[in-house]
Amino acid sequence: MTTNAYKMKQVETTKSVFTIFTGLCKGCGLCIEKCPTKTLHWSDTLGVYGTPSVEPKENDNCTACGMCALVCPDCAIVIERKK
Amino acid sequence: MSVVPNMPKSWREETKPHKFCPGCGHGLVLKALGEAIDELAIQEKVVFGCDIGCSLLSWDFFNCDSVQTHHGRTTPVVTGVKRARPDRICIAYMGDGGGYAIGAQHLVNAAARNERITAILVNNCNYGMTGGQMAPTTLPGMKTQTSPYGRDTDSMGYPTQGPEMVAAIAREGAYVARGTVANVRQLKRYIKSALQNQIDGNGFSFVEALSGCPTNWSTNAQKTWEFIEKEMPQYFKVGEIKTPGKKGE
Ligand SMILES: Cc1ncc(C[n+]2csc(CCOP(=O)(O)OP(=O)(O)O)c2C)c(N)n1
Ligand code: SF4
Ligand code: SF4
Ligand code: SF4
Ligand SMILES: [Mg+2]
């Protein structure tokens, strides 16, 4: 059940659809540090506190492992693996 | 494509983003707790108690009956609820200052009486809410607002070993573990086992979670993970310490 429509942005990588809910992202950077392929970076799109949110940049590198979503304390990332 | 945030079902979505600082470990502990509540399908039965300290920022966090108590008193409040309503699943959520300093007597005696409740304690090595003072869990040499030269073990002793203390006091039937936000899946397993122990009526259950407080540690994301993963485990051993029917690992 969704009561809030959070601002969001989607980035398609080779293996995943990466959704960042900028309306939830506080720009802590915990996810960037945990991305095993170092493909997550600061984004020009701002998060809920007006600080940079995050997005994958080297699109071929994202393995859709979901680590970034797992370690986000604010549930701001959703990773969908492409078929 | 319509995608929605993957929050635990038991989270109260209209209060999100939650009130914790960017990168705060409380969010990860409550994510693990939320998923554990979902997987055990106990949301309707949960009574969630939070302490003074940053844990109180969770007073409207779940779609569960919630109560916010005086500092260190969450354990006895939740114990009272459990005694009056044994059919409820009662959770006491607190910080290390609340559980090991001002509420230590409550934790110790609830464990000694083997109360059928679940206590979850967030260890962030300081008094977070009040601005980062030294706590019983502050690491030797660690600088805080009230230990500006670092914790001196000669005058201030060593970090409190909470789960070890609880395990030593608690009777057979208790469940005691220490997890970490650096391993959310394992932390969820421990919390789930703790709740299951209450459901089974075995006895007291207690999970400490090693957690980050980037605001008072003044750490960036890299340094926050480093402190949780490298510094804290030097004094706080992660694992199950007491499980019903068998002695620790
Ligand atoms: C009886 C009492 N003493 C002191 C305080 C002041 N106080 C408020 S929050 C807090 C520290 C909380 O630290 P901790 O329990 O570690 O939780 P954290 O904020 O770190 O999660 C203190 C001492 C209080 N509210 N009540
Ligand atoms: S899914 Fe994995 S590889 Fe892709 S951005 Fe997240 S952590 Fe990095
Ligand atoms: S962990 Fe979550 S809140 Fe923190 S920067 Fe990443 S997406 Fe944003
Ligand atoms: S002060 Fe520390 S414990 Fe409190 S919300 Fe901020 S980061 Fe979390
Ligand atoms: Mg604390």
Ligand 2 centre and the CA of A55: distance in Å?
A: 10
Contact B7 A75 (CB under 8 A): yes
H-helix or E-strand spanning residue A79: strand A77-81
B5 domain-assigned: no
- Residue B135 CA, closest ligand 1 atom number: 16
B1 domain-assigned: no
Residue A59: predicted pLDDT: 85
* B247: pLDDT strictly greater than 70: no
The residue to which tokens 């000694």 are assigned: B112
Q: Report the DSSP beta bridge partners of residue B50.
A: B68, B93
Contact B20 A73 (CB under 8 A): yes
The sign of the dihedral angle between the CA atoms of B93, B107, B248, B231 is: positive
pLDDT digits (tens, 9 = 90+) for B71-104: 999 999 999 999 999 999 999 999 999 999 999 9
Ligand 1 centre and the CA of B52: distance in Å?
A: 5
Full-model pTM:
0.97
Query: What is A7-81's CATH topology?
Result: Alpha-Beta Plaits (3.30.70)
Domain ranges of chain A: 7-81
Q: Does B4 touch chain A (CB under 8 A)?
A: yes
Domain residue limits at B107:
23-242
Residue A68 near residue A34, CB atoms below 8 Å:
yes
- Give the number of residues written for chain B: 249
CB pairs under 8 A between A and B: 75
ipTM (interface pTM): 0.95
Which position has the higher pLDDT, A82 or B248?
A82
B6 domain-assigned: no
B148 domain-assigned: yes
Residue B199: predicted pLDDT: 98
Closest CA to ligand 4's atom 2 = B213
pLDDT digits (tens, 9 = 90+) for A33-46: 999 999 999 999 99
Q: In this structure, what DSSP letter does residue B230 have? A: I
Residue B107 near residue B115, CB atoms below 8 Å:
no
B16 domain-assigned: no
For chain B, where are the E strands, in sequence order?
A: 46-50, 65-68, 89-95, 118-123, 126-127, 133-134, 175-180, 205-210, 239-243, 246-247
Residue A3: predicted pLDDT: 52
Paired tokens of B79: 């114990």
The sign of the dihedral angle between the CA atoms of A34, A77, B18, A52 is: positive
* B229: pLDDT strictly greater than 90: yes
B76 domain-assigned: yes
B82: CATH:
3.40.50.970
Q: How many domains is chain B built from?
A: 1
Q: In this structure, what DSSP letter does residue A18 have? A: E
- B139 vs B134: CA distance, rounded Å: 9
Paired tokens of A37: 């392929």
- B111 vs B204: CA distance, rounded Å: 6
